[in-house]
């Protein structure tokens, strides 16, 4: 029914009823009695309405209690209030759900978010901001951000207010990119992005280019030097010319090895070049590695091979390169007359390939860094033996792609053992069904 009618009809009816009752009393008992009845009825009505008003005001003070029952127009008022309260409860639940979802999303965000008021007091921040800036939301709420982040660069940036360019900040051993975004009512959002990892990669890239340029410059300088001599002295005796040509060829080979190793590394690191596993016949592969090692050693070392391990799956080409690097290192860093053992065994945690030499060995402080690009214990010895400084970096990447681990044990002057442990899942269990492909 129309709410207006619902309100007015009972009120008019009640008034009419009182007037009719008073009229009847006045008719039978005189005007004064009629007026007295009308007054009493009106008073009773006012007291009743006041009673409802009182209950309503009590309820408004404690809206969580049950709504009072009403009579007449009050029923409608209480019903509508009840509906409003239910709607309000629903809205509040919905808002709370949204807030919880928003907080969850914010806490999963890798970037830090800090909300500050117009005078830079912290209002809210997410866990990433806590990590990046060393804040604690509960503890620091209401504190001035410039008192919490005490970096002069950061404070200058906030004071100058030139937010078009982000700020790069070194804080708590992190490299942070800081953006400030003003929003409603002069509030500001501070966003921090952790660029430590990308900075590290950029640093590695710069180092790699610097190292590679340096490695290439040395042989180039030698070749240029001989070319200048050849130009300045066209009548050099054939013997000297021949020795110059041999030295130039040697430097050319060195550059070629370096470029080839750099290309291999780039390919191994590239995501566009996934490992294509194939059956690897280890006996045959290691036989070839042994032949290469013997050619490199030219009879200066005793090289043995023991291959009792199983065939595995992997990339024949990559494994040949990795094993080849380990064995050629053993040859290059073992003085003439030394022994080099290549061992392929089933192993308890998975099959193992070990290269053991009794060469010059490595001091313990170098071992952790050996797989870094261009890291060498003794630069001149590495160059003398045609090393590029990239061999073990290549080994590391090949093993990474095969899920294998490299272990290095070494005693200076006694020798070294490089052990590769493959995961047990790499073993081929049914050799008869596989079409083994070998290098």
Q: Which residues bind ligand ADP (CB under 6 A)?
A: 325, 329-330, 333, 357, 359-360, 362, 370, 375-378, 382, 387-393, 416
Beta-carbon contacts of 265 under 8 Å, excluding residues fewer than 6 positions away, are 373, 390, 393, 394, 397
Place of tokens 């804040």: 135
Q: Are strands 339-345 and 302-307 parallel, antiparallel or unpaired?
A: parallel
Nearer to ligand ADP, 123 or 409 (CB): 409
Alpha carbon 45 to chain centroid, angstroms: 74
Nearer to ligand ADP, 245 or 368 (CB): 368
* CB 344 to ligand ADP: min, Å: 18
* CB 404 to ligand ADP: min, Å: 17
Nearer to ligand ADP, 80 or 369 (CB): 369
* CB 295 to ligand ADP: min, Å: 17
Beta bridge partners of 115: 124, 189
* CB 345 to ligand ADP: min, Å: 19
CB-CB contact of 179 with 190 (8 Å) = yes
Q: What is the token pair recorded at 84?
A: 């409003």
* CB 421 to ligand ADP: min, Å: 18
* CB 351 to ligand ADP: min, Å: 21
Nearer to ligand ADP, 313 or 385 (CB): 385
- Please, what's the b/e burial string for 365-390 (b: 16 or more CB within 10 A of its CB; e: otherwise)? eeeeebbbbbbbbeeeebbeeebbbb
Nearer to ligand ADP, 323 or 333 (CB): 333
3-state helix, strand, coil in the chain (%, to 5): 55, 15, 25
Q: How far is CA 433 from CA 76, 317, 425, in A?
A: 85, 22, 17
Nearer to ligand ADP, 154 or 333 (CB): 333
Q: What is the token pair recorded at 418?
A: 């490089």
Kindly report the CA angle at 151 between 145 and 156, in degrees rounded to 5?
80
Q: Are strands 352-357 and 302-307 parallel, antiparallel or unpaired?
A: unpaired
CB-CB contact of 145 with 114 (8 Å) = yes
* CB 410 to ligand ADP: min, Å: 7
| Distance of alpha carbon 151 from alpha carbon 169, whole angstroms | 8
Nearer to ligand ADP, 192 or 410 (CB): 410
Give start and end residues of each alpha helix (H) in 184-312.
196-232, 238-269, 282-297
| Distance of alpha carbon 204 from alpha carbon 125, whole angstroms | 33
Nearer to ligand ADP, 59 or 375 (CB): 375
* CB 328 to ligand ADP: min, Å: 8
* CB 412 to ligand ADP: min, Å: 9
Nearer to ligand ADP, 78 or 333 (CB): 333
């Amino acid at each position: 029914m129309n709410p207006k009618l619902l309100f007015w009809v009972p009120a008019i009816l009640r008034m009419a009823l009182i007037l009719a009752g008073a009229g009847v009393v006045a008719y039978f008992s005189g005007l004064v009695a009629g007026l007295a009845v009308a007054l009493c009825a009106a008073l009773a009505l006012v007291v009743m309405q006041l009673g409802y008003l009182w209950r309503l005001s009590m309820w408004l003070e404690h809206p969580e209690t049950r709504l009072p029952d009403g009579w007449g127009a009050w029923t409608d008022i209480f019903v509508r209030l009840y509906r409003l309260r239910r709607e309000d409860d629903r809205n509040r639940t919905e808002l709370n759900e949204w807030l919880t979802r928003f907080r969850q999303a914010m806490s999963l965000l890798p970037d830090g978010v800090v909300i500050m008021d117009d005078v830079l007091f912290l209002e809210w921040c997410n866990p990433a901001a806590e990590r990046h800036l060393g804040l604690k939301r509960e503890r620091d709420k209401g504190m001035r951000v410039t008192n919490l982040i005490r970096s002069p660069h950061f404070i200058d940036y906030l004071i100058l207010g030139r937010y078009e360019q982000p700020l790069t900040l070194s804080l708590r051993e992190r490299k942070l990119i800081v953006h400030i975004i003003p929003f409603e009512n002069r509030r500001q959002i501070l966003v921090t992005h952790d660029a430590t990892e990308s900075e590290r990669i950029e640093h590695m890239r710069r180092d790699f280019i610097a190292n590679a340029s340096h490695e290439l410059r040395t042989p180039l300088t030698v070749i240029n030097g001989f070319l200048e001599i050849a130009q300045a002295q066209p009548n050099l005796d054939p013997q000297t010319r021949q020795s110059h040509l041999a030295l130039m060829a040697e430097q050319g080979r060195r550059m070629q090895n370096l470029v080839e190793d750099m290309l291999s590394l780039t390919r191994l690191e590239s995501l566009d070049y996934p490992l294509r596993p194939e059956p690897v016949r280890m006996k045959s592969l290691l036989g070839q590695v042994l032949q290469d090692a013997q050619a490199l050693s030219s009879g200066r070392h005793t090289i043995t091979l023991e291959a009792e391990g199983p065939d595995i799956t992997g990339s024949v080409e990559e494994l040949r390169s990795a094993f080849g690097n380990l064995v050629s290192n053993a040859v290059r860093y073992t003085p003439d007359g030394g022994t080099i053992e290549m061992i392929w065994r089933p192993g308890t945690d998975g099959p193992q390939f070990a290269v053991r030499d009794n060469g010059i060995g490595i001091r313990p402080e170098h071992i952790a860094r050996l797989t870094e690009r261009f890291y060498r214990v003794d630069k001149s010895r590495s160059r003398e033996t045609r090393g590029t400084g990239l061999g073990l970096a290549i080994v590391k990447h090949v093993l990474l792609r095969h899920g294998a681990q490299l272990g290095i044990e070494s005693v200076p002057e006694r020798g070294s053992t490089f052990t590769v442990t493959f995961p047990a899942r790499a073993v081929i269990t049914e050799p008869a069904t596989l079409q083994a492909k070998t290098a």
